[in-house]
Structure 1
Amino acid sequence: MSVLLRVHDLAVSYGHIEAVKGINFHLNSGEITALVGANGAGKSTTLLALSGLLRATRGTIEFDGQDISRLPAHQIVRHGVVQVAEGRAILTTLTVAENLALGAYTRDDKAAIAATLAEVYEIFPRLKDRAGQFAGNLSGGEQQMLAIGRALMAKPKLLLLDEPSMGLAPLMVQEIFRTLVEINRKGLTILLVEQNVRQALKIARHGYVIETGKIVLADSGANLLANPEVEAAYLGG
């Protein structure tokens, strides 16, 4: 299994506060990897650094054999790293179709974009049904589908997901996670940041547990689920 992303000694600070404290991890191509931990542990900060929205204070981020540590966010998207932000960040006054079109802004081939749109509508039939509706009129679950669909329109090699289950009803959470497995089966590598630790580790091949800016455990998703420390801290054991 080839390594798609390798992070070495990554540190990120907000002013004088170091939120991520020199972490190391890697993602294998074609796998789902989960980064889990309590609120404020440094999960979202890590994603923001990977996508170029926060500048690392030290360390390297190597993606697909290239150092992307100092690239601006729009260039990182062009390399194939696309993030679905916490809270979805869809444009509520645009239609579903317009939101999806924005996801393809880095691409020029109209036929290829149309083919990707057809794939997104196949994955999320509800988005096709609501293509002409304003995104602000969608349910929370449908907005999450739209946020993921918009990211897929960029044809990413790596999808970064920040708390996709946040604020969703349990049945919708199950549907979103099933869809992530389906997308992964098509070959897309996924890094999943989640407070819903049980759900995340169920679908992840590998997982990392982060606490106060440091990775404290790394193992397969199944082993982490069965780990008494993880169970006691995150699974209500």
Structure 2
Amino acid sequence: MPDDELLERVRELRARGRSPKEIARALKVRPAIVTPLIQRLAAAEPREKEVPLVGCWVNQGWSSSVRFTGHPEWPDTGAAETGESGLVIVVVARELGSSVRVCEFLVDTWCLGVKNALGPKPVERRKLPSFCADAFRSYPGAPVAVPLVLAQRIVFGAIGYARGLGFEPHADFAKAAGHLGEWDGVCDLEFGRDGMPMYIEGPHDDMWRIMHTLRQNVGDGNFHYLAGLRS
């Protein structure tokens, strides 16, 4: 592929939110070829001043949904109490004058990626604690404050994993994605459960479509599922 054509394909895939590894895989080239092209494109883009971060939070027990090693700076509490579901809620708040602007992501780290996204939504600064309390109401205990880099890796990493299974993020994710900031493409989290996709049916899922997609892209026997739990 000519250099100009390769650069244009990288630009197109990057605009669609693909990670460097996904771009390399799609273009059938080594990541070492893609990385300098991404850096070249990024250097040519006009830089907007990033809005200051107010904070990032995830639910207690988030670390039971992904595997990682070597990051003692990533806190968690309450894993034993919350159990395992693969679902992680991520909330990111940034400055908005005297208020804040908030985005919320519901992330299925075991299979579907971003199942829902909210925002950016303006919230009065004094009401941010109550917004967070409502966002995490399904989990016991207070939300856990985490670094932005962890929020990025949970959300973007889960999207990359889900795309490999045939699932795109929720349609509203595009409006909220910029709130997470520029991702460096690094993700040292392990998604899926015990090395395999695990689908747990949710109340608003099209279960038959999801199961068909998994069978088509992964194959029977190569994923787990739990269905019939609708209330």
TM-score bracket for this pair, using the shorter chain length: under 0.3
- The TM-score with structure 1 as length reference comes to 0.26
Q: Which has the higher relative contact order, 1 or 2, with Cα contacts under 8 A spaced 6 or more apart?
A: 1
Larger Rg: 2
- The TM-score with structure 2 as length reference comes to 0.26
